[in-house]
């Protein structure tokens, strides 16, 4: 099974037209990967669907880097686990 980081990278690669070597933890979605606001919505939606979690709009708006996405997802998974 792929790690969270690998899965996030795969989703980013699927949605954005970027090279795998460009998708690093510090890469900024807008500044480095040229993501649009629609791309970011698609990434958040894909993360929610893939991991069956809910990411609120306020948290999603703070997602600026690939690492932010990983951290946000880990937090959502932890919250989901706490509710189970």
pLDDT value of residue 66: 98
Q: Which residue range(s) make up the domain with 37?
A: 4-83
Q: Alpha carbon of 43 to those of 13, 36, 47, 48, 84: distances in Å?
A: 10, 11, 6, 9, 25
Residue 15: pLDDT band by 50, 70, 90 thresholds?
Answer: very high
Number of domains, the chain:
1
Task: Answer whether 7's CB lies under 8 Å from 72's CB.
Answer: no
Flag whether pLDDT at 84 surpasses 60: no
Overall pTM surpassing 0.85 (yes/no)? yes
pLDDT value of residue 36: 97
CATH (domain of 53): 1.10.1200.10
Q: pLDDT tens for residues 50-59?
A: 999 999 999 9
């Amino acid at each position: 099974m792929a790690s969270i980081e690998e899965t996030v990278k795969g989703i980013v690669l699927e949605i954005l037209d970027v090279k795998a070597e460009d998708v690093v933890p510090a890469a900024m979605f807008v500044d480095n990967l040229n993501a649009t606001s629609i791309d970011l919505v698609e990434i958040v939606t894909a993360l929610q669907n893939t991991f069956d979690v809910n990411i609120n709009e306020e948290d999603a708006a703070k997602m600026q880097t690939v690492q932010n996405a990983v951290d946000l997802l880990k937090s959502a998974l932890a919250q989901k686990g706490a509710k189970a």
